[in-house]
Structure 1
């Protein structure tokens, strides 16, 4: 009987030991799980902080790049304006004065065939003055400053239209209250696109569509030219770099599709204006 009680006591002690050990293991396992969850949460928090920090760094870089791009573009426009004024008011005025003086002199000193030959040369001078003033207007389009973007783009299309080239301009909902810097950027983009199409595509028809929906401005230009190989285009060419700089400045994007039947370019810009 005593042995039986002693055995039951040993079993009881053993069970208590096992229960205690199980409880310790359970507490240890709970602690491990808690530490793991805490570590995982801290890691996620650290990763999120790293992401937020990187985002802030990217935002700062983007703002710095946009600020630098704006400064460059503004500097270009100021230089264009200065050159245009010098050409139009300075050199253009001087050549116009020379033409008037020559006309007055020829009427008093030349006659017959010599006078006809002189007026032929004077006509060449007159054409040169007209071309000079056209270059000045192209550098700083007066129609844009006086009448707005839509009129300036229409004048630009008229300028590039040739006997064997039709340019169909289709404007839609262009906001007349866009800031001048935005209008200038859009004008320069279209100007470069048209110049490239006229110069390289050998197209006979060009379609230019410009439309606006709230703060989004869309440009589509399509031609029926010979197209080009994308890998042949120099990514650092001056024209393409200028276009991309202005697109980046307006936080936009550009898609180019080209084959032997022609080229299509779609651009979406953010004017930041409603």
Structure 2
């Protein structure tokens, strides 16, 4: 068997495995969504029944409370005029009053338990709604990826000229996959996973707070849990957005950058981002739009996460034969000769720029902020 034929088979095998993996992931997400939807319907019916029982116990308790008041009044009259009643009559009135009080106490306790169950069901339903929404959104994105793999990516081998090129391309795919998996694993572990674990702990604290300190303190804890869930949801959405911003294909580079920078500013209190464009606003080839977007994204994320910047200025100039990006921040800066220069983010930026035969310059010093300047030729 020729070397080229062997390369074709190897690459086709890799692509088939990728398609199978994505298909299985889509099926698993669908099952999660369906399971959550079935659980939602079950809990919704239980919630309606619980609400009905709460109302019934309230009404029964109110009626019983009136009977207890009347019985107490009767007992007071009998006690004050005991000479008119026999011992048997007094005991009967007392026992009846005591029985009514015990029954009322039991109903009030049952009402309290049902209220707690109702609140728990409402919280779980809200969580399931979010899970169903995330599963549907993620399923839609995976469908796009699967369509790309099955329709477009299957023809990649036809476009490669030699077995050596196909082998290198296959290795690059595997390496990129593994690196992306490592990055996603780190981000999910450090972000949503930690937040959701904290949510579980705080949800237990809500219950204990409710039992010990009452509804007001418990509601404060609920607000704190909501904030944690909102942060986790933002991190999940950010990770999904990082995989591939769909607006880049639909709207182009500049509108997508504008939307992305506005989102970063909204989710980082105290941060101001200014965005300016110069030159042409025509659509570029996909590889250049993706590259320019990722370079701006990485530079901005470095400024937000590592430099702790309060103000970021982004300038993009697109000319007929070249493009220039300038990202300037007022963060804490770093020593460009130190280990920071070897970070994965900067290494990825340098590799991307070198692949497109461009130039990357980083001007920074500790306490003086950072200026990232990128020149790319548009061939």
Q: Which of the five TM-score ranges fits, normalised by the shorter chain? A: 0.5 to 0.7
For the pair 1:270 / 2:377, whether they are aligned, the reply is yes
Q: Would you tell me which structure has more strand in proportion to its own residues?
A: 1
Aligned partners of 1:258 and 1:264 also within 8 Å: yes
Per the alignment, residue 9 of structure 1 pairs with: none
Q: Would you tell me which structure has more helix in proportion to its own residues?
A: 2
Deviation string 1:77-132 (CA, Å, 9 cap, x unpaired) is x9xx98xx779965655544444333211111133432332333444455562554
Out of 155, 158, 180, the position equivalent to 2:262 is 158
Q: 2:337 aligns to what SS in structure 1?
A: helix
CA distance in 2, matches of 1:107, 1:262: 53
Out of 174, 188, 191, the position equivalent to 2:294 is 188
> By how many angstroms is 1:177 displaced?
2.5
Aligned partners of 1:149 and 1:176 also within 8 Å: no
- The count of residues paired between Structure 1 and Structure 2 equals 192
Q: 2:331 aligns to what SS in structure 1?
A: coil
After superposition, the Cα gap between the structure-2 partners of 1:93 and 1:220, relative to the gap in structure 1 and judged at 3 Å, is: farther
CA distance in 1, matches of 2:297, 2:373: 15
For the pair 1:144 / 2:248, whether they are aligned, the reply is yes
Per the alignment, residue 119 of structure 1 pairs with: 122
Out of 98, 102, 109, the position equivalent to 2:39 is 102
CA distance in 2, matches of 1:200, 1:119: 39
After superposition, the Cα gap between the structure-2 partners of 1:95 and 1:133, relative to the gap in structure 1 and judged at 3 Å, is: farther
Per the alignment, residue 356 of structure 2 pairs with: 250
For the pair 1:198 / 2:304, whether they are aligned, the reply is yes
CA distance in 1, matches of 2:128, 2:334: 39
Aligned partners of 1:174 and 1:212 also within 8 Å: yes
TM-score (norm 1): 0.61
After superposition, the Cα gap between the structure-2 partners of 1:226 and 1:126, relative to the gap in structure 1 and judged at 3 Å, is: farther
CA distance in 1, matches of 2:27, 2:272: 35
Per the alignment, residue 168 of structure 1 pairs with: 274
Q: 1:163 aligns to what SS in structure 2?
A: coil
CA distance in 1, matches of 2:345, 2:354: 14
After superposition, the Cα gap between the structure-2 partners of 1:226 and 1:146, relative to the gap in structure 1 and judged at 3 Å, is: same
Aligned partners of 1:165 and 1:204 also within 8 Å: yes
> By how many angstroms is 1:172 displaced?
2.4
CA distance in 2, matches of 1:241, 1:138: 18
CA distance in 1, matches of 2:375, 2:262: 24
Q: CA RMSD in A?
A: 3.0
Per the alignment, residue 219 of structure 1 pairs with: 325
CA distance in 2, matches of 1:170, 1:221: 11
Aligned partners of 1:149 and 1:187 also within 8 Å: yes
TM-score (norm 2): 0.45
> By how many angstroms is 1:230 displaced?
1.3
CA distance in 1, matches of 2:129, 2:300: 27
Per the alignment, residue 161 of structure 2 pairs with: none
After superposition, the Cα gap between the structure-2 partners of 1:169 and 1:121, relative to the gap in structure 1 and judged at 3 Å, is: farther
CA distance in 2, matches of 1:113, 1:204: 44
Aligned partners of 1:174 and 1:210 also within 8 Å: no
CA distance in 1, matches of 2:361, 2:341: 14
CA distance in 2, matches of 1:95, 1:114: 25
